[in-house]
C-alpha cells in the first residue's frame, strides 16, 4: 500500500511504502518523481529524512517545502549575503537557514520563516 504526499508546485513526491518483512510495522519513505522514476537505493525511516535528502540533492525546493513565495538565495559567506541583500532592487532580509547557510529572502518570506523558528542574521 502506497501513500503519496505531494508537495505543491514540484515534480517530486515523498512516497511511503511497507516492505514485505515480518517485523516491519513502520513505513519507509523515498522520493519519486511524478513520472514514476526514483532511485530505489535510498530508503528513509522518517518523512523528514526523505525531505532533507531531497532538499540537499536538489530534488525538492525550499520554497515548496516551507511554503515560501520565492526560492531563497543561499550563501556560505555572511558578507556576501548582506552585500547581495543590499544591492537587490527589492527589499531583502538575511536569515540563518537550516542548511548552515545564509538565506536572502523577501520580507514576507522572512516573517514566514521567523514564525517557523528561523532566526534573522545579524
DSSP per-residue codes, 1-68? --EEEE-TT-SEEEEEE--S-TT--S-EEEEEETTS-B-TT--BSSHHHHHHHHHHTTSS-HHHHTT-
> How close are the terminal C-alpha atoms of the chain, in Å?
48
65 or 113, greater pLDDT: 113
What is residue 52's predicted lDDT score, i.e. its pLDDT?
74
Domain definitions of the chain by residue range: 3-60, 73-120
pTM: 0.66
- The radius of gyration computed from the CA coordinates of the chain, to the nearest angstrom, equals 17
C-alpha cell at 104: 536572502
Residue 42 near residue 53, CB atoms below 8 Å:
yes
Task: Describe the strand order of the beta sheet including 12-17 as a list of residue ranges.
Answer: 3-6, 12-17, 28-33
Task: State what percent of residues in the chain have pLDDT above 70.
Answer: 59
- Picking from 36-40, 89-93, 116-120, which range would have the lowest pLDDT averaged per residue? 36-40
pLDDT in tens, 55-75: 776 667 888 788 889 999 999
Q: What is the pLDDT of residues 42-59, one digit of tens each?
A: 666 666 777 777 777 666
Amino acid at each position: 500500500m502506497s501513500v503519496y504526499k505531494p508537495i505543491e508546485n514540484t515534480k517530486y513526491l515523498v512516497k511511503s511504502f511497507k516492505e514485505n518483512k515480518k517485523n516491519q510495522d513502520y513505513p519507509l519513505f523515498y522520493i519519486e518523481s511524478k513520472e514514476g522514476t526514483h532511485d530505489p537505493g535510498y530508503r528513509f525511516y522518517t518523512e523528514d529524512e526523505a525531505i532533507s535528502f531531497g532538499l540537499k540533492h536538489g530534488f525538492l525546493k525550499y520554497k515548496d517545502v516551507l511554503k515560501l513565495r520565492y526560492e531563497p538565495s543561499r550563501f556560505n559567506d555572511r558578507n556576501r549575503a548582506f552585500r547581495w541583500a543590499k544591492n537587490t532592487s527589492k527589499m531583502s532580509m538575511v536569515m540563518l537557514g537550516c542548511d548552515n547557510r545564509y538565506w536572502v529572502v523577501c520580507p514576507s518570506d522572512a516573517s514566514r520563516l521567523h514564525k517557523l523558528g528561523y532566526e534573522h542574521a545579524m
